[in-house]
Amino acid sequence: MNYRHGYHAGNFADVVKHIALVAILQHLKKKDAAFTVLDSHAGRGRYDLTGEQAGKTGEARAGIARLNGLSGPMPEALATYLSLARQSHAYPGSPLIAAQLLRSQDRLIAIEKHPEEFAVLKDVLMPFRGATVENADGYARAVKLLPPPSRRGLVLMDPPFESPDEFSALAKALREGLRKFATGIFLAWYPIKSQAEADGFTGEVLAGGITKALVVDTRITAPEGKLGRSGLLVITPPSGFAATMQDAARVIATRLGTAVTVQWITGSE
């Protein structure tokens, strides 16, 4: 996959991932206590859907663009996500979505390794007092920062998958992170090109002794050579998260042409 997320911003996988992100943040905000969001591979934070990169792939046209005009009863997480995503032609990445949903007591640490992406991200998040941007290796830095002072929060890991050992690196970082922050919520995105590869990844993570985790599996009919399936591994998902994702999936399925399944792989609600 191409590292620059601008080629893929707003596609079907982003839609489902960002609904999940909003759902988790809304759950954390139910308590007054502060929380921290750690985004290990933050990207640039905002993506021009009319620009060269998005135009080259057209993936947003089969993603967020198909949700234009969607209205009627829907889960709060989906409604909030759409209100953020529709603000302009620039699509918000995970760090910008998180920054806009933080309260004054909450914190976001957005980590980006690529210098050019980091420079843009720094400008995008500058208006948000609770956001900090770091130019570093996402895996190592995120694990080092755990547990956060708030002892509540979300760790989002959404790597580029341009390295052949990315699954192993992600699994290792998740296991190490969970050892340091066992009460945290972890959300990890990954492409699914092989069921055996996906099962191997989740099995490697579960071998660390996790007792509560689910997978959100999203499929579309994609052209040859294009990504048509992706997963979200959610460790220690909040109460009601599975139902929220299932409800949101029913609303967006027809427009996106997606099949979304939510399956517990260890533990249950």
Q: Where are the domains of the chain?
A: 5-266
pLDDT at 49: 83
Kind and range of the H or E run holding 265:
strand 259-266
Cα 156 → chain centroid: 6
Number of C-beta neighbours around residue 227 at 10 A: 18
pLDDT at 1: 44
pLDDT at 55: 45
Max distance between CA atoms of the chain, in angstroms, equals: 48
CA 138, 149, 210: angle at the middle one, nearest 5?
65
User: Does residue 133 sit in helix, strand or coil?
Assistant: strand
Asked if 39 and 111 count as a contact pair (C-beta separation under 8 A), the reply is yes
pLDDT at 61: 86
Active site residue 158: yes
What is the pTM (predicted TM-score) of this model? 0.95
Sheet of 153-157: strand order equals 131-134, 107-111, 36-39, 153-157, 185-191, 229-235, 213-219, 259-266
Instruction: Give CATH superfamily name and number for 5-266.
Output: Vaccinia Virus protein VP39 (3.40.50.150)
pLDDT tens string, the chain, 269 residues long: the values are 444 565 678 899 999 999 999 999 999 999 999 999 999 999 999 998 875 554 455 688 888 999 988 988 999 999 999 999 987 678 999 999 999 999 999 999 999 999 999 999 999 999 999 999 999 999 999 999 999 999 999 999 999 898 889 999 999 999 999 999 999 999 999 999 999 999 999 999 999 899 999 999 999 988 887 889 999 999 999 999 999 999 999 999 999 999 999 999 999 98
Out of 14, 39, 106, 158, pick the active-site residue: 158
